């Protein structure tokens, strides 16, 4: 199944259009939308990084495609999923099934056939 409910990204995985406000203008090095402050990338929550002594050195954040609910690298939820801009996969799947099997629109125009 192809999940085509995401947001378009460029070759660097940056949103082409802000998912929140629709802004299409980004500076070359922009990390956030200049209009609403929304992140310009669908980044994951991050996976912890540790030094050789087991001390937490922060988190490694991964950039993901515009339809990713979970990170392909660490499995953590993405920003779009956490912000509820993407439905859980099972809800998306159910919606697709309902659309596929929906009855055609019926009119009551008085024609008997």
Range of the domain at 81: 42-100
Residue 13 in domain: no
Is residue 42 helix, strand or coil?
Answer: strand
More confident residue, 104 or 75: 75
Contact 80, 19 (CB under 8 A): yes
Residue 67 in domain: yes
Given a cut of 60, is residue 59 above it in pLDDT?
yes
Mean local confidence (pLDDT), 48-74: 94
pLDDT of amino acid 91: 85
Residue 113 in domain: no
Confidence bin at 106 (pLDDT 50/70/90): low
Total domain count, the chain:
1
What's the whole-model pTM score? Answer: 0.77
């Amino acid at each position: 199944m192809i999940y085509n409910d995401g947001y378009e990204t460029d070759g660097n995985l940056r949103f082409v259009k802000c998912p929140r406000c629709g802004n299409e203008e980004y500076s070359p090095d922009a990390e956030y939308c200049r209009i609403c402050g929304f992140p310009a990338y669908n980044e994951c929550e991050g996976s912890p990084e540790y030094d050789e002594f087991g001390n937490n050195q922060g988190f490694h954040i991964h950039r993901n495609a515009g339809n990713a609910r979970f990170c392909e690298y660490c499995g953590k939820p993405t920003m779009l999923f956490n912000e509820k801009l993407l439905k859980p996969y099972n809800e998306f799947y159910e919606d697709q099934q309902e659309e596929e099997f929906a009855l055609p629109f019926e009119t009551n125009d008085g024609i008997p056939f």
